[in-house]
């Protein structure tokens, strides 16, 4: 096989990632600017392409501002996409985590088996939850939505609850919200064409559930937000689904002892 073809094949394989909904496109975002220290509510989001796609951190920040009027909010996305097991030993990630008095740390990209036949370690996620607690932040695990036409919601959710049982962390019912939306709102496309990543409405639905977990405010009370690529009518329908979901599945199942409020 020609060397050029071999090199191209190696690049493709390196970009694919491994494990269920945690695979990422090949081009990670550029490093963000250094975290600020002036916002009332500082949010750190550590994940991969599922966190980056459609500007989900900015969606969360906008919704928290709406839920807590008068509060300034900043969301920072950690540089480089990686699984939590990798991030737990990444010096740059740990330095960022320890650099600021974060109010919330959102942890996405727990690796899991696409087939369900293998178990991946959770000790990296556990370590990051504990590091988040050590800096005074509330850790929030981010269970990803199920892939298109694959019934894996409970498996993904239970995996994240297993982490929270070892190191208490909030577990938003994001997969359940997606399942409900696909029943209630079949005309709204949540998945990107790859059946794995989200379109803007899917990211916004996840952001609504995450924000409800942070603030204790029902998504039904959120206003429409601008600049997210989702029109106000669709946002209203997504809010209804998110509100119903957090009523049935308590977002703070894994962190019931943590205070709620601005």
**pLDDT for residue 232:** 98
Pairing type for strands 41-46 and 104-108 reads parallel
Give residue-wise pLDDT tens across range 29-39. Answer: 444 445 445 89
Q: Closest Cα to residue 213, out of 160, 146, 166? A: 160
**φ, ψ for residue 17 (rounded to 5)?**
70, -170
Handedness of CA 190, 149, 172, 169 (dihedral sign): negative
**φ, ψ for residue 44 (rounded to 5)?**
-110, 130
Q: Closest Cα to residue 202, out of 178, 229, 233? A: 178
* pLDDT surpasses 90 at 11: no
What percent of the chain has a predicted confidence (pLDDT) above 90?
Answer: 79
* pLDDT surpasses 90 at 24: no
Q: What value does the mean pLDDT take over residues 141-170?
A: 97
Return the bridge partners of 46, or none.
107
**pLDDT for residue 28:** 52
Residue 143 is given by DSSP the state P
HEC secondary structure over 186-242: CCCCCECCCCCCECHHHHHHHHHHHHHHHHCCCHHHCCCCCCCCCCHHHHHHHHHHH
Residue 249, token pair as written in the block: 């599945």
Which H helix or E strand runs over 162? Answer: helix 153-166
pTM of the model: 0.87
Alpha-carbon distance 237 to 261, whole Å? Answer: 25
Mean pLDDT, all residues of the chain: 88
For the chain, how are helix, strand and coil distributed in percent, rounded to 5? 45, 10, 45
User: With contact defined as beta carbons under 8 Å apart, do 91 and 241 qualify?
Assistant: no
Handedness of CA 211, 212, 214, 217 (dihedral sign): positive
**pLDDT for residue 259:** 86
The neighbour count for residue 231, using CB atoms within 10 Å, is: 10
64: helix, strand or coil = helix
Give residue-wise pLDDT tens across range 80-106. Answer: 999 999 999 999 999 999 999 999 999
Return the bridge partners of 43, or none.
75, 104
**pLDDT for residue 37:** 58
R_g of the chain computed on alpha carbons: 18
115 band by pLDDT with thresholds 50, 70 and 90: confident
Residue 68, token pair as written in the block: 């807590």
Q: What value does the mean pLDDT take over residues 230-250?
A: 98
């Amino acid at each position: 096989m020609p060397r050029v073809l071999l090199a191209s094949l190696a690049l493709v394989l390196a970009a694919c990632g491994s494990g269920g909904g945690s695979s990422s496109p090949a081009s990670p975002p550029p490093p963000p600017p250094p975290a600020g220290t002036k916002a009332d509510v500082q949010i750190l989001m550590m994940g991969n392409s599922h966190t980056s796609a459609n500007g989900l951190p900015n969606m969360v920040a906008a919704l928290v501002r709406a839920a807590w009027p008068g509060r300034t909010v900043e969301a920072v996305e950690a540089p480089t996409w990686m699984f939590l097991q990798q991030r737990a030993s990444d010096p740059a990630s740990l330095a960022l985590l320890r650099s600021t008095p974060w109010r919330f740390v959102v942890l996405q990209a727990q690796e899991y088996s696409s087939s369900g036949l293998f178990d991946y370690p959770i000790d990296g996620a556990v370590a990051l939850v504990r590091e988040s607690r050590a800096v005074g932040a509330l850790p929030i695990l981010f269970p990803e939505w199920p892939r298109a036409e694959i019934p894996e919601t409970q498996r993904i959710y239970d995996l994240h609850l297993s982490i929270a049982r070892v190191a208490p962390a909030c577990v938003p019912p994001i997969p359940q919200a997606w399942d409900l939306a696909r029943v209630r709102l079949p005309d709204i496309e949540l998945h990107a064409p790859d059946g794995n990543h989200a379109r803007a409405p899917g990211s916004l639905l996840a952001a609504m559930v995450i924000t409800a977990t942070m603030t204790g405010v029902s998504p039904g009370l959120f206003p429409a937000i601008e600049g997210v690529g989702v029109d106000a009518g669709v946002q209203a329908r997504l809010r209804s689904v998110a509100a119903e979901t957090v009523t049935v599945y308590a977002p703070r199942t894994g962190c019931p002892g943590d205070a709620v409020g601005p």
